[in-house]
Amino acid sequence: MARARNIKPGFFKNEILGVADPLYSLLFEGLWILADRAGKLEDRPLRIKAEVFPYRDGLDIEAMLTWLQDQGFIRRYVVAGKRYILVLEFVKHQNPHKNETESEIPDPEEIGTKPELIGSTRADPGFLIPDSLIPDSLNSDSLLPAAAAPAQRATRLPADWVLPMAWGEWTVAEFPGWKADFIRNEAAKFADFWRAKSGKDATKLDWQATWRNWCRNAKPPGRSFGGAVSDSDRAAANAQSTADAARILGFDNLTPETIDAEE
C-alpha cells in the first residue's frame, strides 16, 4: 500500500542523485511511499515498476535498484528465501503517523538492532497529520549516504568462475521448479556465453544481477511449471507426430496423388 511521505527541497541538492538520471530520484522517492514505517518493502521489481512507473516502458527496475544500492541509498537482502529492500536512514528522516501499522517484514539477519531504533531521536508522531507532506521535515543532507561508495569499474567474468553458493540459493528460492542439474547447466551456459563475448559488451558492473536476469530470461525446463499447451503448440506436435508416422511406414516420399492412385 502506498503512503505519503515527507520531502524537503534539500533532496534536490543531493550531489549523487543530482547528477544522475532523474528517474533514479523518482524511483527512490517511490520506494519511500511503498515502504512500511520501518523503511522496508518487498524486493519485487515488476510490482515496484507498476506502482512507480505505470506508464513508462523500457525501464530496467532491477538495474536501477542495484544502482541505488551501489550508491548507498538502499539495501537489498534475503531472509528465508524472500527478497526485501531496506531504505537506509529512512527511520531517521521520516516520521510515520502513529496509527500506521508496524512493519511485518524481517530485518536483515546480520543487523543486531531493529532499524526503527537506528538514528537520532525522532519527533513525536502523534503531532503529525496522517499522510502529511511536511516541506521542512528533512535536513538538506538527509539523503546523502554516510560515505560515498567508491566508483566501480566493469569487469569481465572471471576465467575460473563457478556459480557461488549464495547465487545458487537465490536461484532455488526464486525458481523452485528448477532441479540442481538444470541450474548447473544454466550456469555453464552463462559462463560460456559471457566468456565468448568481446569488447565492452563483455564487462559488467554487477555479475550477480546479470545472473539474476539470465535466470529470469531462461526457458523453463520442459513443462515443469504446468503451463497450458497452446493451440499452436498442439498443432505443431500433431504435425510432427504425423510426419514421424509417415516416415516409419515408408510414406514420407509419397504425394497425396500417388496414394490416391494406389488406392
106 Cβ partners below 8 Å, 6+ apart?
79, 80, 84
Q: What is the DSSP string of 62-117?
A: HHHHHHHHHTTSEEEEEETTEEEEEETTHHHH----TTSPPP-SPPPTT--S-GGG
Asked whether 138 and 7 are in contact (CB, 8 A), the reply is yes
Q: Is the dihedral of CA 42, 5, 53, 60 positive or negative?
A: negative
Res. 139 pLDDT band, cuts 50 70 90:
very low
Mean model confidence pLDDT for the chain: 75
Maximum distance among all Cα pairs of the chain, rounded to whole angstroms: 95
Higher pLDDT, 263 or 89: 89
Res. 215 pLDDT band, cuts 50 70 90:
very high
Least confident of 177-186, 209-218, 231-240: 231-240
Looking at the predicted structure, is the pLDDT value of residue 227 above 50?
no
The tens digit of pLDDT for each residue in 237-260 reads 556 655 655 554 555 555 544 444
Q: State mean pLDDT over 29-56.
A: 90
Measure the CA–CA gap between 33 and 39, rounded to whole angstroms: 9
Res. 4 pLDDT band, cuts 50 70 90:
confident
Q: Closest Cα partner for 53 from 76, 91, 83, 22?
A: 22
Measure the CA–CA gap between 183 and 181, rounded to whole angstroms: 5
Other beta carbons within 10 angstroms of residue 132's beta carbon come to 12
Asked whether 161 and 204 are in contact (CB, 8 A), the reply is no
Least confident of 130-134, 151-155, 188-192, 254-258: 130-134
Query: In the chain, which residue ranges form alpha helices assigned H by DSSP?
Result: 22-34, 45-52, 61-70, 90-93, 165-174, 180-196, 207-217, 231-249, 256-262
pLDDT of residue 150: 62
Res. 122 pLDDT band, cuts 50 70 90:
very low
Higher pLDDT, 93 or 230: 93
Q: Closest Cα partner for 158 from 125, 121, 204?
A: 204
Measure the CA–CA gap between 51 and 2, rounded to whole angstroms: 8
pLDDT of residue 11: 80
Looking at the predicted structure, is the pLDDT value of residue 119 above 70?
no
Q: Closest Cα partner for 37 from 128, 110, 152, 112?
A: 128
Domains and CATH numbers, the chain: 9-127 (1.10.10.10), 155-217 (no CATH), 234-262 (no CATH)
